[in-house]
Structure 1
Amino acid sequence: MEKKFRCIVTERGENGKSFISEDREVGVGPLGIIDFWETEEMPASLHGKNLLPGKPTRLEASTHGTLFRFFEIPPFQKNLSPEEAEKQAAEVFASVQASHCRVDTRLNPMMHTTRTIDYVVLLKGEVTLLLDKSEVKLKPFDVVVQRGTNHYWINYNTEPALLMGVLLDAK
C-alpha cells in the first residue's frame, strides 16, 4: 500500500473569517519526496495558490521561491556495485530535474548541492549527514540548517527515515 500524507490549508475569507480551503492527500514522489506547498516569490502572498499541482517533482525551490516537503531516506543499499550506484544516482537526480546538483560525487554518487537554504528536521528514524569534510549522526528532532553545501543523507538502519524540509531559494 502506498503511503499517503494529508495536507490541510487554511485561508482567510473576504469577511476576515478563517476556513479550510484545501484538505487533500499527497503521495510519495521520486527520491522519496512528499511535496506539500510551493511559492515562487518572497514575501509570499497569504492569498496565493499552491503552485505544485500538475508540476513534476523538483529537488530545488524555484527562483525567489520556497518548498515545504517531507522526504524519506530508505535504508542504504550495501549490495550495489560502484557502477550500479552511479547509474542509479544519475537516474534519480535526472527524475527531479537536478542532474546539475551533482557537482562532486567522489565520496558518494548521491552527494549533491542545491542553491537553497534548507531547514531540515529528522522526524523518524536515524540518518547520517555526510559532508565533504565531516559527518554527523542525527536522531529524531535534530535540526540541520543546510546552506547550499555538498551533502548526502545516509540511513544505515533497516527502516526508512522521515525528514521534514523547508527549502528557500538562496544566492
Structure 2
Amino acid sequence: MIKPRRIVTGVDTNGESEIKINSLIEPDIINGDNIFLELWNTDGKIIDNKDSEDRSKGPVILSPPKEGTKIRYFSIAPQDPSVSAEDLELMFAAGFKAIGAEHERVNTTKHPGMHITQTIDYIILIKGTATLILDKEEVDLIAGDIVVQRGTNHAWSASGSESALFIAVLIDSKFK
C-alpha cells in the first residue's frame, strides 16, 4: 500500500521559503485494493502560503469545490469476474455515494463506474495496466500514460492481475 511523503512549502513572516508540512500520508479510503489518498486541495480562495493548514484533511469528495483543485492518488483493483452485474452496480453506487458523487453517475449503461465531473483532469497511470472506458470507445493504458479527461462520461478498470495506481489532478471547470 502506498504511503507517500508529502512536502508542502510556504513562507515565514519575513517572506523566506520554508517547509510547512513534511509527513507521510495514510490512505483516506481503503476498500480492499481500491484506495483514495487525498494529497492536497484548493478552494478557489486566495492562498495564504504562511499557514501550515493540512489541506488534505476532511471528507473525501470526488470533485473539487467551485474554482478549486484536488490532487490525489487512487488505485483500482481488478474486477472479480464472479461478482454479478447487480452486485457490481450496488458496489459502485455505494462507492460513489461515499465520495459525494452519486449525482455524477448520469449514464452507467456501459459500465457501473461511468461518471461525469465538471473538471479537467490530468491523470497519470503510475503502476499496473488499466482501461479508460468512454461511451463510444475504450483505450488500454500502461504505466506512464497520461489522460487529459475533459468533462466526459468515463470509467476506469484495472486490466491486469494487479491494482492500477494513478495520480490525478482535478481542476474545477466549465464546458460548452
The residue type equivalent to 2:55 in the other structure is L
* Structure 2 residue aligned with 1:134: 137
* Structure 1 residue aligned with 2:59: 56
Q: In 1, distance between residues paired with 2:78 and 2:26?
A: 20
Runs of 4+ that moved beyond 4 A: none
* Structure 2 residue aligned with 1:16: 15
* Structure 1 residue aligned with 2:149: 146
Aligned residues: 168
The residue type equivalent to 2:139 in the other structure is V
Q: In 2, distance between residues paired with 1:135 and 1:162?
A: 18
Q: 1:120 to 1:46 in 2, by over 3 A?
A: farther
The residue type equivalent to 1:12 in the other structure is V
Q: Any residues of structure 2 matched to 1:1-171 within 5 Å, and which?
A: 3-30=2-29, 32-41=35-44, 45=47, 47=49, 49-53=53-57, 55-171=58-174
Give the RMSD, CA atoms, in angstroms.
Answer: 1.6
Q: In 2, distance between residues paired with 1:50 and 1:40?
A: 13
> Does structure 2 conserve the Cα–Cα contact (< 8 Å) formed by 1:38 and 1:50?
no
> Does structure 2 conserve the Cα–Cα contact (< 8 Å) formed by 1:118 and 1:167?
yes
Q: Which segment is superposed worse, 117-126 or 22-31?
A: 22-31
Give the superposition deviation at 1:14.
2.6
Secondary structure, counterpart of 2:86 in structure 1: helix
Give the superposition deviation at 1:113.
1.0
Task: Name structure 2 gaps, 5 residues minimum.
Answer: none
> Does structure 2 conserve the Cα–Cα contact (< 8 Å) formed by 1:132 and 1:150?
yes
Give the superposition deviation at 1:168.
0.3
Secondary structure, counterpart of 1:4 in structure 2: coil
The residue type equivalent to 2:159 in the other structure is Y
> Residue by residue, what CA displacement relative to the aligned partner does 1:100-138 show, whole Å, maximum 9, x if unpaired?
011000011111111111011111111110000011111
Q: In 2, distance between residues paired with 1:36 and 1:50?
A: 9
Give the % identical residues: 39
> Does structure 2 conserve the Cα–Cα contact (< 8 Å) formed by 1:11 and 1:19?
yes
> Does structure 2 conserve the Cα–Cα contact (< 8 Å) formed by 1:39 and 1:50?
no
